[in-house]
Amino acid sequence: MTIAVMTDAHSYPQPNAALLSEVAALPPLPGVYRYFDADDQVLYVGKARNLKKRVSSYFQKNHGGTRIGHMVSKIARMETTVVRSEAEALLLENNLIKTLKPRYNILFRDDKSYPYLRMTGASAPKLGVIGAQAAVFPRVSYYRGAVEKKHHYFGPYPSAWSVKEGILLLQKVFHLRTCEDPVFSNRTRPCLLYQIKRCSAPCVGHITAAAYAQDVANAEAFLKGDTEQVMSVLEARMMAHSDRLEFEQAASLRDQIGALSNVLHQQAVDNVADKDVDILAVKVQGGRACVNLAMVRGGRHLGDRAYFPVHVEDAAGVYRGDEESETADDKLPSVEVQVLEAFIAQHYMDVPVVPSLITSEPVAKSLIEALTVQSGVKVSAVHQPREQRRIWLEMAQTNAGLQLGRLLAEEGSQQARTRALAQALDMSQDQLDEFQVECFDISHTAGEATQASCVVFHHHKMQNAEYRRFNIEGITPGDDYAAMRQVLTRRYAKLAESLREDGGAAELPVGTARLPDLVLVDGGVGQVSMAREVFEQLGLDLSLIVGVEKGEGRKVGLEELVFADGREKVYLGKDSAALMLVAQIRDEAHRFAITGMRAQRARVRVGGSKIEEIPGVGPKRRAKLLQRFGGVRGVAEASVEDMASVEGISKELAESIYRALH
């Protein structure tokens, strides 16, 4: 029997007896718990030092119309996992949060992997191996991906720009090479970088391996923050050359010292004791939150990166805190603390943790202890820092406020545009967050490599993960109408079939894409007529189709909307917020189609395959082919006999390569 407890405005049923008995049987051990609703969708994932105590706290009292009361009323079942320690619970909890994406957990979306500055490992040259000489002179480069033990990596850096700035710095001060090994191995004279004093030209023997190795060692020490050691070594080498009357070498070292001094003067933070520090500042406003992460590596401030979590309002209402605060809601941490703790727990699962964290809010000691156990690095978190650390934190807080303000302004503008478009088209404004637009565009070059793009807009922003490209085949080259017919049919045929089988019901089977509220086609009356034919054949609503027709002289801002259901054309006005949104979606569809078409065309023109993807062609054979013929195009133009004359390329393999490229 279900007992309803009346609140001010809502009636929330209590959990069933089976669930309460399951809660009562929980052990007083560390672990992770998951709550599920009646549709078996995960509601919340949490960890506990004491499972019995933590989970019981959700059901010991009536939470009324609060968010936690709303969540508890939906719980149909739960799952628990007992672990050995709170550190294991932390790891499991955040892996589950990232995988399951529960509605009532603060969730930071997975970002792209961080970029690193890579220094290739030096090794002795091997006789008869192409590029072996390059291995003696390590290369500095931008890198993103899995690390290899044979190379040295510095970072992570907050952005690609900061890595490239670091590389430019190493070029200016230490004159390290950045060219790829095939280029290095085939140079016969120094490149421009040598002329502008950005490289010591090891490719043509202008520096010995020993001297270059010393520059590499100094560069690595500098990146680790040992600047005083580097300066001492350079000064000692300069004086030694001067004593031996080797004034040219002494002058070169003098220039290096001067360049390094300028860098140290610009990076005032080098004077502090901290080498590797992360500064974390959080700002919450208007139901959104921003965590600004500033990175200090080797004593140098590398830059900032902003993170914007989702589910902040819902998750903050159900957070239970640490063991000592479970039964006292007035002791629950602030939203800022909850957001910051969620970021620390989720972010450092995939990124190397640094020894020192400077935080704008106090975080739980248990979290830092678990992070220490999990990472093997002694981690400390400092709140309310002093001196240089305080300056760093104030900069991070300022940036968090600026980034959040920018986000709120952009979201407000996008929401206004969505509302304006719905008003202009006389559409319902009840659920603007769910308002979905799909836009199609066709792109080709004189009929070659025809591609169609479909971009998706909902929740007031473009949804990149839902974009789709369609290779258009079996049509007359250059027939845009036939291409539009094909892409619309492929996009909506299965959806139309599902709607017919379901009797037109609004609820479609799980995993089925829903029909958008608006279908934009980049084109005028002709493309709209083609779209109308497709929708009539599929039995779909014609009022969804709108074409974007170029205005007089194809001028921006003079576009008109063309409707498939017979309505008159609409001119929104060049300053209309609705037209701005239409133009934004249309331009994104055009950009997405063109990039796909260019990539497809490039693949077609080199035979549809990269050389390294051809079976039997590994890195060494590829390097020999490129070296002999001067690039991919040269290989594609070579005959079977020419390719077979390259060392390591048999007649059979040459024929395979020729077939793959033609």
pLDDT, one tens digit per residue, over 152-204 is: 888 778 888 888 888 888 888 888 999 888 888 888 888 999 888 889 899 98
Please measure the distance between the N-terminal and C-terminal CA atoms of the chain and give it in whole angstroms.
73
Q: Which domains does the chain have, with CATH numbers?
A: 4-100 (3.40.1440.10), 116-271 (no CATH), 277-320+332-405 (3.30.420), 433-503+513-604 (3.30.420.340), 606-661 (1.10.150.20)
pLDDT in tens, 509-555: 444 467 899 999 988 888 999 999 999 999 999 989 999 888 776 67
Q: Is 10's pLDDT higher than 50? A: no
CA 316 – CA 336 distance, rounded (Å): 9
CA 65 – CA 36 distance, rounded (Å): 19
pLDDT in tens, 223-261: 877 777 777 777 777 888 787 787 777 777 777 777 666
**Taking a C-beta distance cutoff of 8 angstroms, is the pair 207, 174 a contact?**
no
Computed over every residue of the chain, the mean pLDDT equals 81
Query: Measuring CA to CA, which residue among 21, 3, 1 is closest to residue 11?
Result: 3
For residue 530, with 0-12 CB atoms within 10 Å meaning exposed, 13-18 middle and 19 or more buried, which class applies?
buried
| Cα-based angle 264, 265, 269 (whole degrees, multiple of 5) | 70
CA 311 – CA 136 distance, rounded (Å): 52
Burial annotation 458-496 (CB, 10 A radius, 16+ → b, else e) = bebebeeeebbbbebeeeeeebbbbbbbbbbeebbeebb
- Cis, bond preceding 156 (omega within 30 deg of 0): yes
For 99, half-sphere exposure in the C-beta direction (CA atoms, 13 angstrom radius) is 9
Query: Alpha carbon of 425 to those of 22, 460, 543: distances in Å?
Result: 53, 17, 10
Task: Report, as an integer, the average pLDDT of 38-56.
Answer: 89
Q: Is 146's pLDDT higher than 80? A: no
Confidence of residue 440 (pLDDT cuts 50, 70, 90): very high
Q: Is 92's pLDDT higher than 80? A: yes
